[in-house]
Amino acid sequence: MIKENKGTRMIMSPLFPSLLCAHRGVEVEYDHEKHNFTCASLGSSKYTLDGDNIDGPAEKPLKNYEAALNDGILMIKL
């Protein structure tokens, strides 16, 4: 889970969502106004900050990776 606080995104769980759309793999971008991830393709799938699919042609959530902060460095297990 990712939470936003005054423009800073904070990781609140050991999982971090992939930034590739579950539909056809186009990069998703963070929408600061709607606080979600939106695919840049014409289909425009949308995802919550946890990676759950909320709109668009994608039928699956974003893939999640294990993540941890280690001395201020974000480590993501691929």
* Candidate residues 11, 19, 41, 49; the one interacting with ligand FES per rule CB under 6 A: 41
Are 73 and 48 in contact by the 8 Å Cβ rule? The answer is no
To ligand FES, the closest distance from the beta carbon of 59 in angstroms equals 10
Residues contacting ligand FES: total by CB under 6 A: 12
* Candidate residues 23, 47, 51, 53; the one interacting with ligand FES per rule CB under 6 A: 23
18 binds ligand FES (CB under 6 A): no
Side chain identity at residue 29, one-letter code? E
Closest CA to 62 of 71, 77, 50: 50
Are 22 and 60 in contact by the 8 Å Cβ rule? The answer is yes
State the residues that interact with ligand FES by CB under 6 A.
21, 23-24, 26, 39, 41, 43-45, 56-58
